[in-house]
Chain A
Amino acid sequence: MSKSMLACLMACLLLFTVAFSGLANTQLVMAKSEEANKLSLIPPWQASPSEEEIQFNCKYPIQSGTSDSSFSFNVELKYVGGEESQLFDLSAEGPPDWMVRVQQTVSGTKELPAVVLDPTKTYSGESVVVIAFPPYWVVTEPGDYNIKLKAASGDLEGSIDLTARVTARYEFKFETDTGLLNTKATAGKESHLTVVVSNTGTANLDKVMFSSGKPSGIGDEHWDVTFNPDKLEGLKPLEEQEVDVIIKPPAKTIAGDYMITLRSNSDPSTSSSPELKIRVTVGTSTKWGWIGAGIIVAVLAGLVLAFRKLGRK
């Protein structure tokens, strides 16, 4: 009787418990069922220390940057459930052509092919750094790129997905073809200057437009600076195009040096629009220069003639 009574009591208790837990702890059950997929909802090593697993923790698993920057993720690894330290092989893989390295620190140079994790220690974990470099020889398209860090030891293995979000960088260079920042011009005449626009960014520039700032002083409204073509469209990264700048000082420009500013801006706009300050040396038009000299010579000739004709000696 005592045996059956005990069994009966046990059964009743169990039933009760089950019934009760079924009513009250639905959430807990659901949470537990999720635990297999999601790692970090409940600190794993608290949940069920009995089970042997490797845990990953990354505070900033998604990082964004331009294609010429590197992405580095701090990942903490923890081995739980085991009895003794184990050596885990580390491997990180990224999209094709990407270079992904696992290092101890960001500035470190050595790769970590493996890490020893001690399950007995109750500390936050061993931290490693995953650094991903987009390929430098091609421009990486903007978008999310997945990087996977795997740690494996025997059958035990785990991984974490990290996301490198490549954003577009809009940038271009605006230079003269010769690199010189001065040019010559003649009053009232067109002179040409070639500037080169190169897309040094990581994305297509839909449009690059130009404008110019004219020198202050004489007749600034008459300074004629035109660009040919007046805008560039769809400039691909690394692509460069020449633009012909036609500078025409007004006819009555006094000879001398003038600063003109060539400005550019793009769509989508870049953080800073490059501009060129060009020193334009306006020379005397040869015609007037000669006429001026001619007048002086004529005066001197007149003087000599006056002496010859009117003088005595």
Chain B
Amino acid sequence: MYTVFRKELADYLESKRFAMLFILATMAAVFAVYLAVQNIRGAVSSSSEFVFLKIFTVSSETLPSFLFFVSIFIPIIGIAFGFDAINNERASGNLSRLLSQPIYRDSIINGKFLASLAVLSFIVVSVIAIVGGLGLRIIGVPPDSEEVLRLIAFALTSIIYGAFWVALAILFSVSFNRAASSMLAALALWMFFFFFVYMIAGAIADARVPIDSNSSFEMIAKNAEIQGMINRISPCNLYGESILALLTPEIASLNPALMMISVIAAGRMLTPLNFTQSLLLVWPQIVTMVALATICFAISYVRFIKQEIRAT
């Protein structure tokens, strides 16, 4: 398996898509940092202790924050390094040659999955490090140990999320014979999760609890709650919630209604949670993502092992 892993890793590292995605991701990240630093002074309240994390979360009026870029890039990278893993081998006639070598069949899919994940992790960690380094250089405020912990958790969560997309893309690459179909399917699924679930959630919530400008607070909260619940079926949303809570210690609840109540009704200042509390808050989300990634990979593993090589 290690040989397959090494070979795929080398292939990916030298592939054009790696260079393209790495440069693109780095550029987006640098851009986001630049904007964040421009706006960071306004965003940092006097009581804030988490200046360094703000580099990652602050957005400008016109452009979204680093987190948004990351949440778009990870699925794309995951899909890019998985969608043709198996079907390309099959189409090029490599698969049967590869399978006739003295290696276990699952080594191929395991090696490919791990290589994709390694490349993805490499990009994620590099980009976070570049952002951190650049931010550190510009604002000059070092992260404290808790912020470092939160960043590590952020990176790990991102890798888990990436693993889900890699596993999904590999599943499609096992299921579809043509690389183009599997890529389109994966992208379509991503778009469904990323855009349509939000739209549908909003529509359903509005249908169940219609709100307008003079709706009562309870109604608005209920609407938000329904919307939030439906959104949770989207892994994009799970990831978004997780990283937001991990990098924004002030977020004390992921229930949108509760958030609104605590902020508007009580009007209290949001006191930051400590790291373990934040982690506990998003633990269900992270576990769900791990489970989704595992399920996707397990299905593709079984399908690949069971799949017969047929005479053409």
Indicate whether A256 reaches chain B with its CB closer than 8 angstroms. Answer: yes
- Complex: how many Å from CA A275 to CA B40? 29
Over the window 125-157 of chain B, the binary record of Cβ atoms lying under 8 Å from chain A Cβ atoms (1 yes, 0 no) is: 010011011111111111000000000000000
Indicate whether B208 reaches chain A with its CB closer than 8 angstroms. Answer: no
Contact across chains for B13 and A252 when beta carbons are under 8 A apart: no
- Complex: how many Å from CA A262 to CA B126? 45
- With A254-B40, A254-B44 already in contact, the answer to whether A311 and B14 are too (CB < 8 A) is yes
- With A307-B13, A313-B14 already in contact, the answer to whether A217 and B140 are too (CB < 8 A) is no
- Complex: how many Å from CA A313 to CA B14? 9
Indicate whether A102 reaches chain B with its CB closer than 8 angstroms. Answer: no
Interface residues of B in 27-63 (CB under 8 A from A): 40-42, 44-46, 48-49, 51
Contact across chains for A289 and B140 when beta carbons are under 8 A apart: yes
Identify the closest chain B residue to A312 (Cβ).
B10
Residues on A close to B: CB < 8 A? 187, 216-221, 251-256, 282-285, 288-289, 291-296, 298-299, 302-303, 306-307, 310-313
- Complex: how many Å from CA A255 to CA B140? 6
Q: Is the interface of B mostly helix, strand, loop or mixed?
A: helix
Interface residues of B in 161-181 (CB under 8 A from A): none
- Complex: how many Å from CA A291 to CA B129? 11
> Which of A216, A220, A254, A285 is in CB contact (< 8 Å) with B51?
A254
What is the distance, in angstroms, from A287's C-beta to the closest C-beta of chain B? 8
Question: Besides the contacts A296-B133, A303-B126, what 18 more A-B pairs have beta carbons closer than 8 Å?
Answer: A217-B46, A218-B48, A221-B46, A253-B141, A254-B40, A254-B41, A254-B141, A282-B140, A284-B138, A288-B137, A292-B133, A292-B134, A295-B129, A299-B130, A306-B13, A310-B10, A311-B10, A311-B14
Indicate whether B9 reaches chain A with its CB closer than 8 angstroms. Answer: yes
Identify the closest chain A residue to B14 (Cβ).
A311
- Complex: how many Å from CA A187 to CA B139? 10
Q: How many A-B residue pairs have CB under 8 A?
A: 97
- Complex: how many Å from CA A299 to CA B129? 7
12 contacts between A and B (CB under 8 A): A218-B51, A252-B51, A254-B141, A283-B140, A284-B137, A284-B138, A289-B140, A291-B142, A299-B126, A310-B13, A311-B13, A312-B14
- How many chain B residues touch A (Cβ–Cβ < 8 Å)? 30
Over the window 284-306 of chain B, the binary record of Cβ atoms lying under 8 Å from chain A Cβ atoms (1 yes, 0 no) is: 00000000000000000000000
- Complex: how many Å from CA A293 to CA B13? 24
- Complex: how many Å from CA A313 to CA B51? 42
Identify the closest chain B residue to A286 (Cβ).
B140
Chain A residues in 8 Å Cβ range of B14: 307, 311-313
What is the distance, in angstroms, from A254's C-beta to the closest C-beta of chain B? 4
Indicate whether B17 reaches chain A with its CB closer than 8 angstroms. Answer: no
Chain A residues in 8 Å Cβ range of B137: 284, 288-289, 292-293, 296
- Complex: how many Å from CA A225 to CA B126? 40
- With A299-B126, A299-B133 already in contact, the answer to whether A217 and B138 are too (CB < 8 A) is no
